[in-house]
Amino acid sequence: MKKVCLFLTVAAMLLVMSTMVLAEENTQQSIGVSVSVDSSGVSLPIPKTIRKCPGTLDPKTGDPWSSECSAASDISFGDLTTTLSDGSDAGCFYAPDFFIVYLYPDAWGGVGYQIDQNFVWTTAGIPDESLVFTAVYSDQDRYAGLPAQGDMPSGALLGTSGDGAPEQAVGTHRVYKSDPTNKLVIVRAQYGLPPVPASGNKDDIYSGWKPVPKSTPATTYSGQLTITISPT
């Protein structure tokens, strides 16, 4: 892994294990992501924390520290399914859980910072557009011993769009860019492999989203996720 001074690199390899069960069309597929951190040359008190949450939890207003969610040392989607919670057919493969990667920036003495994520599939077969990334700022997040961080600082930018709208993970996208005062905040990078929204409106995920087809072969898929925090 490349070591770069004043950069935090979170390298996550999708270790997709082929524990497939062939039962009619309801093939089960396991997709896992392990995360390692290179913090060479950087003072990083708590670079990241990972939480696994059910898809029923609202990713922006739900409490990821409740008993609904669990601590995770890596990101592992587990068995994908084609059955929705009401028993109906999803028409595609999806993961019932999503993952939150909490990022705790270090402003390096007041220097501005930008957090970016990059994802690539290294094995073909999963649509580029299926893995959803969302940048989230929560006013209730807090550093230990401090009050909740409150509203996002004026002038800060969340996500590529600036407002944290969902987008595909593949490619390079901004997670957060600090405000002019370079205030330290906690920011989330969230990942999921969702089904078609209940409303049927794919724009509820993001324009251009594609599901993981039920025809996806039962094999091993892999990819790499890298999150960097750099001075601006």
- Per-residue pLDDT tens digits for 113-157: 888 888 888 778 889 999 999 999 999 998 878 899 999 999 999
pLDDT higher at 125 or 6: 125
Average pLDDT over residues 211-230: 80
- Whole-model pTM: value is 0.81
Does residue 116 lie within any of the structural domains?
Answer: yes
Classify 182 in phi/psi space as left (phi over 0), alpha (psi -120 to 50) or beta: left
Domain count for the chain:
1
Does residue 21 lie within any of the structural domains?
Answer: yes
The pLDDT tens digits of the residues spanning 59-78 come to 777 889 889 999 987 777 77
Does residue 189 lie within any of the structural domains?
Answer: yes
Strand partners, 87: none
Q: At 118, phi and psi to the nearest 5?
A: -140, 130
Of the candidates 80, 191, 174, 74, the one whose C-alpha atom is nearest the C-alpha of residue 125 is 80
Does residue 70 lie within any of the structural domains?
Answer: yes
pLDDT of residue 130: 92
Range of the domain at 175: 8-231
Does residue 160 lie within any of the structural domains?
Answer: yes
Does residue 1 lie within any of the structural domains?
Answer: no
Does residue 20 lie within any of the structural domains?
Answer: yes
The pLDDT tens digits of the residues spanning 164-181 come to 999 999 999 999 999 998
Distance CA(225)–CA(204), nearest Å, equals: 24
Structure tokens at 84: 């929705």
Does residue 3 lie within any of the structural domains?
Answer: no
If you search the block for the tokens 């708590």, which residue do you land on? 46
Average pLDDT value over all residues in the chain: 76
Distance CA(39)–CA(54), nearest Å, equals: 30
Of the candidates 173, 213, 181, the one whose C-alpha atom is nearest the C-alpha of residue 196 is 213
